[in-house]
Structure 1
């Protein structure tokens, strides 16, 4: 019996269409369904002028595929990240307004500072399974009105939980210090460190950012593998009239 080639092609098209629809549905579900359903973490601050003196503004910085968390360089934050000084990046130096932290796949993150540096090997590692790294950098003033910036106000208890969660993402040596990745940096004001966990495209950098924010008491979408899904879910599940999320006027 001779099979009709057209039937096979039609079946492949149906499978491909089904796969596309499944991905779209998963992304929509992951954005629209809050995580957690009911917040069990108290302490996210109301956004008002009276609370402003006791809150800290944290920024989520978005690119096309990646998010970082920008922590204000308060004396407390600088002290907690003082380990960077011995690696040639002193967070206490003049002009530092923010300490930026992100998590990602070791090969892709280190070897792809710009899209022009994209290579097949790191891309393959990112799409399969890779070791992870923490990327930390120092920054001056950041424009909170920029469309790639999302500002979040946290009270001190929530801010402390966020700091603890970020620090817990670093792999520690036997003496307790984070382990630097020697010779891996984009420039003068950043460093890479070994990190906890394994990276893949499903559980990637933006999922890590969402988990850090949930530790601070915010709600995110259930699965937010892309920056736009994460920031959209923050707006959906943390309304400006409620607590914790302060959307920047666009």
Structure 2
């Protein structure tokens, strides 16, 4: 009887450990598969167009877009007076969306807190836009440049605009972030293990007709399409 109890406890412990590992493994497998299957597979970068960038810090993938191009202007939402020094107002905005607490607490994977991970997996309406002011960006190993048509660019801007949560007066609301050149903004959307920060970026590009994986929850799932 004692041996039976020991074996039962051992079996239960193995199941307790193995099931979460199995779920995590299946999640990463699905993420790899989703990011490998293209949507808009016939998309080709135009010979002439508006330059857009994707940039990763290893955790988040953000879009870098001009503050003003093709008749679109972000200055009504991303306003110079939001900055402590308006002289660093960018020619471009690097824009990412995600779980509010993860974004505020985690510049790198080493900063991620277990409680924030749990909240992100379960799902949360506590989301934010994180916007850096960038001046004349150039391609780099972590930043990929590509051209889009005016129509695609307008779609990208419309998707970003629709993510801002505005006040009753129609204004965006900004909060301090990691430094003088970047801010957090109130945003709409529900964050979850399915709709991650990187999937938001992938969805914006898919909607604009740009070749992208059908599901891109991880940073590599977005960046791989521009290598």
RMSD across aligned positions (CA): 3.2
Aligned equivalents of 2:120, 2:145: Cα separation in 1: 28
Helix, strand or coil for the counterpart of 2:194? coil
Aligned equivalents of 2:60, 2:88: Cα separation in 1: 28
Tell me the residue number matched to 1:106.
100
Q: Is the 8 A contact 1:127 1:201 kept in 2?
A: yes
Tell me the residue number matched to 1:240.
none
Aligned equivalents of 1:3, 1:159: Cα separation in 2: 64
Aligned equivalents of 2:29, 2:12: Cα separation in 1: 24
Q: Is the 8 A contact 2:60 2:219 kept in 1?
A: yes
- Which 10-residue stretch deviates more, 188-197 or 94-103? 94-103
Where does 1:23-42 land on structure 2 (aligned, <5 Å)?
23-35=27-39
Q: Deviations over 1:118-153 (max 9, x none)?
A: 444434333332310111120123331x21112221
Using the size of structure 2 for normalisation, the TM-score is 0.80
Please point out which of 168, 188, 195 is paired with 1:196: 188
- Which 10-residue stretch deviates more, 211-220 or 84-93? 84-93
Aligned equivalents of 1:47, 1:58: Cα separation in 2: 12
Q: Deviations over 1:24-67 (max 9, x none)?
A: 4312321222236x78xxxx77432xxx2xx1010000121211
Tell me the residue number matched to 1:140.
135
Return 5+ residue gaps in structure 2 as ranges. Answer: none
Using a 3 Å threshold, how does the CA distance of structure 1 residues 109 and 28 change in structure 2: closer, same or farther? closer
Return 5+ residue gaps in structure 1 as ranges. Answer: 235-246
The answer as to 2:169 corresponding to 1:175 is yes
Tell me the residue number matched to 2:7.
5
Tell me the residue number matched to 1:237.
none
Using a 3 Å threshold, how does the CA distance of structure 1 residues 136 and 24 change in structure 2: closer, same or farther? closer
